[in-house]
Amino acid sequence: MAQKIYIFDTTLRDGEQAPGMHLNVKEKLEIAYQLQKLNVDVIEAGFPISSKSDFDAVKEISKVIRDKSIAALARANFKDIDAAGEALKGASNPVIHTFISSSDIHLKYQLNKSRQEVLEIAAQSVKKCREYTDNIEFSAMDATRSDRQYLAQMYEIAIKNGATVINVPDTVGYALPLEYSSLIEYLMDNVRGIENVIVSVHCHDDLGLAVANSILAADKGARQIECSVNGIGERAGNAAIEEIALIIDTRKKNLNFYTDINIREIAKTSNLVTSLTGYMIAPNKAIVGKNAFSHEAGIHQDGMLKDRSTYEILKPEDIGLSSSKLILGKHSGRHAFVKRLEDLGFNLNEVEIEKAFERFKSLAEKKGAINDNDLKAIVQDEISEIAEYFKLNYYHILSGTNIKSTSTVGIEIKGKLFEAVHFGDGPVDASFKAIDQITKINTKLIDYSIEAVSEGKDAIGAVKIIVASNGMEIPGRGISTDIIEASIKAYINAMNRIIENQEI
């Protein structure tokens, strides 16, 4: 029978200890409400002795979140425990999480106490917690660098004095997965009374092993995992709740345990924490990174279009996202390009598709990802394209604040290359004059406008012009990530329209 893994969320405590992060009481409450929707089992709301805002946050969250356990952190001393107890007074199911170091390196350099002294402090601290609640979690800080026999002795004393949860922290993220799971196994076999309590694990990600360590620990009998949204926390952070939840949900048949996490709230929870903390998520972050359900490679896109299971083991809809994304870029194939055109309502013939695809590939080399507005501009430009009597081959610009702008333009006419160099009042004016010199068409520029087709520094610019020639007003249009190139293309487009009208 599958075993439940309790999820102890420490976003509001350890998560907020991330360098440069500060959440006020209102912000903590907002996150707490979302954690309630996410359906975590325990919300560690703060470290009351550390600041007034932490004390107030624990107090307020305790009042309003009634269906979850609310935990408060306290060092193993009476002052901290009293502060935690007071802050938790309004909680329906309060948990005091008290801790003291267990490794010899911490005892010597941090506490300056003997092993025996620390054992006595642990015992008295757990007893003190019982004045406020029967739900007591005891953590041996730096457990993974501690002597195993001494660690087992410390947990035994904590259980004997009333601890209901014992937490085994990999405080500095040092343990390898097999080392950590071996430690859990050792404690399960050597701590008297451990069968009567919940074994919890709290892993840091200094070596990128927090999630792996947590999962393997659960496989050895741990029944509570401590984690944070987006993996935020001290230094490299904690095990990420979204990764823990999705690993267990996706591989539940193999792992034989489950959580009560409402995974459909994961994306919303991640976005809220990102927004309020200002801690951005790497694009390639598992589960919640913007690329987690995005595909650019042509082979992957082809597979996704045939059956999404070819390259996705998770469904974006399951975590609250609308759908996967096929990102059109330089690695994309023709299949995905055509599919996106169809989705946008375009119905091109093979010749038009081939020309548009060539333009798309050329633009993607310069810009990277191509969005729908970019694609519309490319296709609309292709659909409206006329015969290229004049074809741009190259251009070079020399321009600056203290020099006269100069443009060199090379244009093909019936397969023969013509070049012109001209000065002008700015690079666009110089380019237009150089084009006039090659085409020998007399025109007057009536209108010139620029608009951004998409957003960002690398947005496609669309230039629209109107020129007067022989009593007619002729439009021209050009697009490019380079506004000068777009201007040149628009002007040449107008020249081609003039030739077309003359032939008609």
Which run of H or E residues covers position 117?
helix 115-129
- In this structure, the strands spanning 472-480 and 42-46 are unpaired
Res. 155 pLDDT band, cuts 50 70 90: very high
- 369 has a pLDDT exceeding 70: no
Interatomic CA distance for residues 310 and 166, integer angstroms: 42
- 323 has a pLDDT exceeding 70: no
- What is the architecture, at CATH level 2, of domain 390-503? 2-Layer Sandwich (3.30)
Q: List b or e across 352-374, with b for residues whose CB sees 16 or more CB atoms inside 10 angstroms.
A: bbebbbebbbebbeebebbbeeb
**Whole-model pTM above 0.75?**
no
**Residue 133 CB coordination number (10 Å):** 21
Given a contact cutoff of 8 angstroms between Cβ atoms, the answer to whether 104 and 147 are in contact is yes
The tens digit of pLDDT for each residue in 188-210 reads 999 999 999 999 999 999 999 99
DSSP 204: B
- 311 has a pLDDT exceeding 70: no
Closest CA to 428 of 484, 478, 383, 390: 484
Task: Determine the topology of domain 3-277 in CATH.
Answer: TIM Barrel (3.20.20)
The tens digit of pLDDT for each residue in 375-389 reads 766 666 655 556 788
Which of 345-354, 377-386, 437-446 is predicted least confidently?
377-386
DSSP 286: T
* Sign of the CA dihedral running 175, 177, 182, 188: positive
Interatomic CA distance for residues 202 and 99, integer angstroms: 12
- 430 has a pLDDT exceeding 90: yes
Domain boundaries, the chain: 3-277, 294-383, 390-503
SS3 71: strand
Res. 330 pLDDT band, cuts 50 70 90: low
- 145 has a pLDDT exceeding 90: yes
Interatomic CA distance for residues 305 and 302, integer angstroms: 5
SS3 63: helix
Given a contact cutoff of 8 angstroms between Cβ atoms, the answer to whether 82 and 99 are in contact is no
